[in-house]
Amino acid sequence: MIRVENCTCGYGGDDPVLHQLSFRIAEGERVGLIGANGAGKSTIMKCMVGLLSAEGTVCIAGREVCRKELPWIRRQIGYVLQDSDNQMFMATVKQDMIFGPMNYGMSAAEAEKLAKQTLEQLGMEFLWDRQNHRLSGGEKRMAALATILTMNPRILLMDEPSLALDPGNRRRLIQVVNHLPQTKLIASHDLDLVWETCDRVLLIHDGRLAADGPTEAILQDRELLEENGLELPLCLAGVPSRTNFE
């Protein structure tokens, strides 16, 4: 469903951010994308939706990401951006949520019904008429997630989906994500969320693939995680000691 081959790309500086990155994700797989800050997680997602162009090949459901294919490719992918401020661009949550489905030909009534159902599923129906610019960080995150889920895409790319969520909303997000049948790639520093939602993990270090394997193997490998600027998920680390900064 996703094929990335020898992908090298950057933002126009001297050095590329991604170096010859290659991996494949089959239909229905649930894959976590982990790595330290600046490793290139968001960058590879931007390549998949054509926001950045890369050397090498990026294919989505058999079609190469290129200008001609972008409308089709973006129809296949629901992309939850790391920054929800870039995701919600209409005045109200409702307007944002019905925009996509109506753009793809659904009537306003159908789109509203679907959008309301998604908000209810997330326990967020009270956001329906709210102004986007008056939402808290976590509310905006949930609204952005709901907006993407309403589109029912074949592939979900989620960049830090649990960012800013309180424990209840984070738990609901995990439940909802675990019930979705789609192919998923979830970039996150919340390794406990990755532990609960993904079967396979890709570990990126400095734009290169450092490891690719089952979640149980990678997230329990303290040495591998620490070599790559990460730590064991809290659920596996036992009761964490408090850091002494003195």
Which one of 42, 84, 147, 169 is in contact with ligand ATP (CB under 6 A)?
42
Stretch that binds Mg ion, among 24-32, 54-62, 82-90, 174-182 (CB under 5 A): 82-90
The count of residues interacting with Mg ion (CB under 5 A) is 3
Eight-class DSSP state of 162: T
Stretch that binds Mg ion, among 12-20, 76-84, 150-158, 227-235 (CB under 5 A): 76-84
Burial class of residue 243, CB neighbours in 10 A (0-12, 13-18, 19+):
exposed
Asked if 162 is part of the footprint of Mg ion (rule: CB under 5 A), the reply reads: no
Cα-Cα-Cα-Cα dihedral sign, residues 5, 19, 87, 125: positive
Which one of 16, 32, 40, 153 is in contact with ligand ATP (CB under 6 A)?
40
**Contact string 26-65 vs Mg ion (x = CB under 5 A):** ---------------xx-----------------------
Nearer to Mg ion, 17 or 143 (CB): 17
Asked if 141 is part of the footprint of ligand ATP (rule: CB under 6 A), the reply reads: no
Which one of 2, 7, 17, 218 is in contact with ligand ATP (CB under 6 A)?
17
CB of 163 to Mg ion, least distance (A): 10
CA distances from 152 to 15, 77, 146 (A): 37, 9, 10
Asked if 84 is part of the footprint of ligand ATP (rule: CB under 6 A), the reply reads: no
Cα gap 37→197, rounded to integer Å: 21
Cα gap 58→38, rounded to integer Å: 21
Locate the DSSP E strands across the chain. Answer: 2-9, 18-25, 30-34, 55-60, 63-64, 77-80, 155-159, 183-187, 200-205, 208-214
CB of 129 to ligand ATP, least distance (A): 32
Q: Which does 43 bind (CB under 5 to 8 A by kind): Mg ion, ligand ATP, none?
A: ligand ATP
User: Strand, coil or helix: what is 201?
Assistant: strand
Nearer to ligand ATP, 230 or 232 (CB): 230
Asked if 39 is part of the footprint of ligand ATP (rule: CB under 6 A), the reply reads: yes
The count of residues interacting with ligand ATP (CB under 6 A) is 11
Tokens of 228: 């790559």
Using an 8 Å Cβ cutoff, are 206 and 19 in contact?
yes
Residue length of the chain: 246
Q: Which residues contact 112 (CB under 8 A, 6 or more apart)?
A: 94, 98
Which residues of this chain interact with ligand ATP, rule CB under 6 A?
A: 11, 17, 35, 37-43, 82
- Chain residues in the site for Mg ion (CB under 5 A): 41-42, 82
